[in-house]
Amino acid sequence: MAVVNLVVTPLRRRNCLLVLAFVVFIPFCFFVLFSVPDVSSEQMLIQRLAELQVKLQYLDTMYRSRQEDLQQLTAHIDQMVAPSDSNASLGALSPFGGAAPATTKPEIRQLLRNMSGMNAAHGLNPPIMLRLPSSFHFLPHLLDDPASLRLAYLMSKGRTGVSVVLGVPTVRREKHTYLMETLQSLVDGMSMDEREDALIVIFVAETDLEYVLLVAKEIELRFPSQVDSGLIEVVSPSVSYYPDMDKLRSTLGDPLERVRWRSKQNLDFAFLMSYCQPKGTFYVQLEDDILAKPYYISEMKKFALDKTANKEPWFVLDFCQLGFIGKMFKSAELPWLIQFFQMFYNDKPVDWLLDDLIYTKICNWEKNKDFYKRDKAKLWIHYKPSLFQHIGTHSSLKGKVQKLKDKQFGKVALFFPHTNPEADIISGIKCYKLYSLKRAYLGEAFFWGLLPQPGDQLIFKFKTPIHIKRFFFRSGNVEHPSDKFYNTSVEVMPAESNLYVNSLNLTADGYIVVGKFDSVGIATGNPNENIGRVSALRLYVHSESDNWAILSEIHIQDEYSVAR
């Protein structure tokens, strides 16, 4: 008993909170004392105060969950200790073993004495704890395997305490995956400071470990420094986290495949949110096929802190008009969603559940729909213009083509112009409308070719032979990410033969292969210097494509352009 009391005395608890408060507020007090007050710094102060307020709320939930663990432990120990601690005088009255503790009021004792012999006298302080339902009640399959809540995979540097956590669920797709484009856009859109104060969690919602490892490997190869610094994490669930998907109830009259897809999505969101909850103050739900506007992190944070500073309550801040993309929550409030998704995962799609939760929280049944809209807008606040946009056209639900675009997002760059050496342009691929190869080479537009065939060539014949230092070709663009060059090599024609050139395997028509397009749709390289000057460079297509092909960036650098 003594040990337990030592750990949980209310005094201790209060001390913990005090320490917590000091850790947060002392730096703040210094900040206040030593900054010169003027109008803009007052604005900054208000923001900072709001930030601390939300942070404290987040730390408090972290502390609460520790407290919950402790309470369970205490109850457990109490039950084990109680029988040996029986008090002889009252023990006679209670079959529960001396349950009326020393603190029982005299009136109660009196009453008990007068009730002696009655059943009613024996009901005080029974050794029975109320059992509240937990997630296991809604997801009983989790009890079948002790490892059901264990992570199957985690690549992490353990970063915590950031301002914004971005949750990106991803699943295997039949056609194209845009995960790398999405990550590139998320990383590029952050300033250096924001990269220190954010966390991107990629949740690979697949139980095939081989696939999970391949995704993690590709991410590290593409973003080595961001993985090293802890900005990007990869996590995946164990097989037993999911119930038997063939035994789901058919709901809403949907075909079973759709029920499976949306039920899994609910469980995926609940997992991802639970994993991310302790890692930062705000949580933003994203998808694996989106683009972000530059400085989106600062914009979102500022908007959230303004609301808090103005004492406007909110539950969702919405930075994209589509589906469940770009929705921000306070991490401290995520348990509301997690529990709700777990309760109704088999019943409704995740975006409906969000709507229903807000409805339950704020709307009055007795009023009509207009009131609902008005009330809902108080807790679910939209930000314009949108900070996120869909890139993909293929949804992860087989056959469901996702063409929805957010009109609030605005224009994004579809090509990247460069100055290239003077050249004659020969395109063996017919172009669509005015999207010619020549205009692309001059940096006026992107090239858009119809269905490349094996043997098709795009040739750049230089006016005077050049030493190529580096070449860079980007295929596809954000609006048409699948219009890439597949199985296409980059080849150069040496202007004069030399010993080195003679030692190489040339193509039948005398070209040297110096590179090829990778799975992301980029071909880049620095040709061997010994090749000498070249009179032409060409892209050579080796197999048939199901897609049209876009060149959104062409950059050929000779020694002069490198020096420039």
Ligand X SMILES: *[C@@H]1O[C@H](CO)[C@@H](O)[C@H](O)[C@H]1NC(C)=O
Residues in contact with ligand X by CB under 6 A are 87-89, 102, 114, 454, 487, 504-505, 542-543
Looking at beta carbons only, is 366 or 546 nearer to ligand X?
546
The amino acid occupying position 250 is: S
Smallest gap from Cβ 312 to ligand X, in A, equals 54
By beta-carbon proximity to ligand X, the closer residue of 224 and 454 is: 454
Q: Please report how close the Cβ of residue 468 comes to ligand X at its closest, in angstroms.
A: 19
CB distance 129 to 101 below 8 Å: no
Between residues 87 and 274, which has the closer beta carbon with respect to ligand X? Answer: 87
**CB 512 to ligand X: min, Å:** 10
The angle, 0 to 180 degrees and rounded to 10, between the axes of the packed helices 350-362 and 334-344 is 120
Q: Which of 381, 388, 382 is nearest to 409 (CA)?
A: 388
Nearer to ligand X, 2 or 88 (CB): 88
- Distance (Å, rounded) from C-alpha 319 to C-alpha 386? 5
Nearest to 558 by CA among 479, 471, 448, 457: 471
CB closer to ligand X out of 39 and 88: 88
Looking at the Cβ atoms of 79 and 543, the one nearer to ligand X is 543
440's tokens:
């692309």
Judged by beta carbon, residue 2 or residue 33, the one nearer ligand X is: 2
DSSP 8-state secondary structure symbol assigned to residue 431? B
Interatomic CA distance for residues 384 and 374, integer angstroms: 18
For residue 466, the minimal CB distance to ligand X (Å) is: 24
State the alpha helices, DSSP H only, in 314-459.
Answer: 334-344, 350-362, 369-379, 437-441
Question: By C-beta, is 270 or 458 nearer to ligand X?
Answer: 458
Tokens 């110096």, residue located: 514
Q: Least distance in Å: CB of 180 to ligand X?
A: 18
**Closer CB to ligand X, 82 or 248, in the complex:** 82
Closest approach of ligand X to the CB of residue 462, in Å: 25
Q: Are 332 and 61 in contact (CB under 8 A)?
A: yes
Contact assessment for residue 290 and residue 169, using Cβ atoms and an 8 Å cutoff: no
Query: Which one-letter DSSP state was computed for residue 206?
Result: -
Residue 169: beta bridge partners?
Answer: 203
- 377: Cα within 13 Å, side-chain hemisphere: 8
What span, in angstroms and rounded, lies between the C-alpha atoms of 446 and 441? 8
Instruction: Provide, rounded to whole angstroms, the least separation between the CB of residue 96 and ligand X.
Output: 15
Beta-bridge partners for 203 = 169, 235
**Residue 270 CB, nearest approach to ligand X (Å):** 39
The sheet carrying 512-516 orders its strands as: 423-427, 457-466, 534-541, 488-494, 512-516
**Residue placing its CB nearer to ligand X in the complex, 298 or 487:** 487
CB of 89 to ligand X, least distance (A): 5
With respect to ligand X, which residue has the nearer C-beta, 109 or 260?
Answer: 109
> DSSP assignment, residue 84?
G
**β-bridge pairing 290-292 and 388-390:** antiparallel
Cis-peptide into 385, omega within 30 deg = yes
Minimum distance from CB of 543 to ligand X (Å)?
4
Residue by residue, DSSP assigns 16-77 as: HHHHHHHHHHHHHHHHHHHS---HHHHHHHHHHHHHHHHHHHHHHHHHHHHHHHHHHHHHHH
Which residue's CB is nearer to ligand X, number 401 or number 504? Answer: 504
Given a contact cutoff of 8 angstroms between Cβ atoms, the answer to whether 90 and 99 are in contact is: yes
Cβ 6 to ligand X shortest distance, Å: 20
Tokens linked to 414: 């579809």
Smallest gap from Cβ 101 to ligand X, in A, equals 8
What is the distance between the alpha carbons of residues 350 and 289, in angstroms, rounded to a whole number? Answer: 18
CA proximity to 200, closest of 175, 173, 234, 225: 234
Q: Distance between CA 345 and CA 358 in Å, rounded?
A: 16
Indicate the Cα dihedral angle 195, 392, 376, 303, nearest 10°: 20
- Give me the least distance between CB of 503 and ligand X, in Å please: 6
State which residue, 364 or 505, has the beta carbon closest to ligand X: 505
